[in-house]
Amino acid sequence: MLRRTSPPTDAKPNLYQEVTDRIIAELEAGRLPWVQPWGGARTGPGLPANAVTGRRYSGINILILWGEVIAQGYQAQNWLTFRQALQVGGAVRRGERGATVFFANRFVPQAEKARAQEKGTEPEAVPFLKRFTVFNVAQCDGLPEALTAGPVPLPERRTIPEAEALIVATGADIRIGGDRAYYSPLDDYIRVPPQPAFFEQINYYRTCFHELGHWSGHPKRLARDFSKRFASTAYAREELVAEMASAFVCAALAITPTVRHADYLGSWLEVLREDNRAIFRAAGQASKAADFLLAFREAGGAAA
């Protein structure tokens, strides 16, 4: 909980609308795509990654691939392209249908370069969205065993050392006490109730990472806009970012994500219906926030 631009043109807006419509349908059905996969999937929590390169997918692609995991009951979060399967000595089984993921980038058309050169101004880049197809390792035969292994299940315990270590490593000013959880952008600190106060102690970690998601947006970090008032569209967007960032971090730590703010569902739907790129931006910002936080784990901690 957080206390207290016009979309660019694109040659293929239908791609944005296609994904946005899918997310809206999930929300209208009462399912949140960033927490639902473990309701009936046969795999533990984790972030989807390319099985060959090990690179994690980000942004909207996390939601898309998590959705495929629950829909198809896959046991792994590892994906690869048709060509990559062949390169490592395997093959996609005949008749299998892949999942569509998206790559967003920007380019400067030659005409724009010429216009800018003529007028002595900076050329304006045009955003584009490209789709390509990936397959879960469960859809392939003949792959090396190392590519098909699933995540190690989390032992049952109240204290999760890896989560504790990451929270400490961020160097964030986290104040334990009270009966509310929030982030104060003005004073740059997080307040969370003590862990024993939670009905389910695992929610302490989910809550910490939600607030750390907000914390990552401070001007001296990822610099998201915190100036809008409570109940505004911008506020709902920021809550959506923090909610997904928490889910992404939890998944990376093998903690099952869950929704903390179901009461925001209506405002999130309103945001998505008004702007078919909102979920792309929110998921992208959530990925950046999660990567920012998880980098502390790899760096062994740093001053905030």
How many residues are recorded in the chain? Answer: 304
| pLDDT for the residue 6 | 37
Rounded to an integer, the average pLDDT of 202-220 is 94
- Examine the pLDDT at 297 and tell me if it is beyond 50: yes
Span 198-204, average pLDDT: 84
Q: How much is the pLDDT for 262?
A: 57
pTM value surpassing 0.95: no
- Mean pLDDT, the chain, as a whole number? 83
233-258 pLDDT, tens per residue?
A: 888 889 899 999 999 999 999 888 87
b (16+ CB within 10 A) / e for 165-182 = ebbebbebebeeeeeebb
pLDDT at 184: 94
Take residue 99 and report the two structure tokens written for it: 């999942």
Give residue 110's pLDDT band: very low, low, confident or very high (50, 70, 90).
Answer: confident
User: In this structure, are residues 233 and 271 in contact, taking their beta carbons and an 8 Å threshold?
Assistant: yes
From 23-32, 71-80, 235-244, 281-290, the region with the lowest mean pLDDT:
23-32
- pLDDT 10s digits, 112-128: 888 878 888 888 888 77
90 pLDDT more than 70? yes
- For the residues of 206-273, what is the DSSP string, one character each? HHHHHHHHHHTTSTTTT-----SPTTSHHHHHHHHHHHHHHHHHHHHTTPPP--S-GGGHHHHHHHHH
User: In 3D, which of 11, 42, 115, 57 has the Cα closest to residue 286?
Assistant: 57
- What tokens were used for 272? 């998505």
| pLDDT beyond 50 at 155 | no
Q: Which of 109, 129, 113, 131 is nearest to 121 (CA)?
A: 113
**CB under 8 Å to 68, separation ≥6 — which residues?**
74, 99, 136
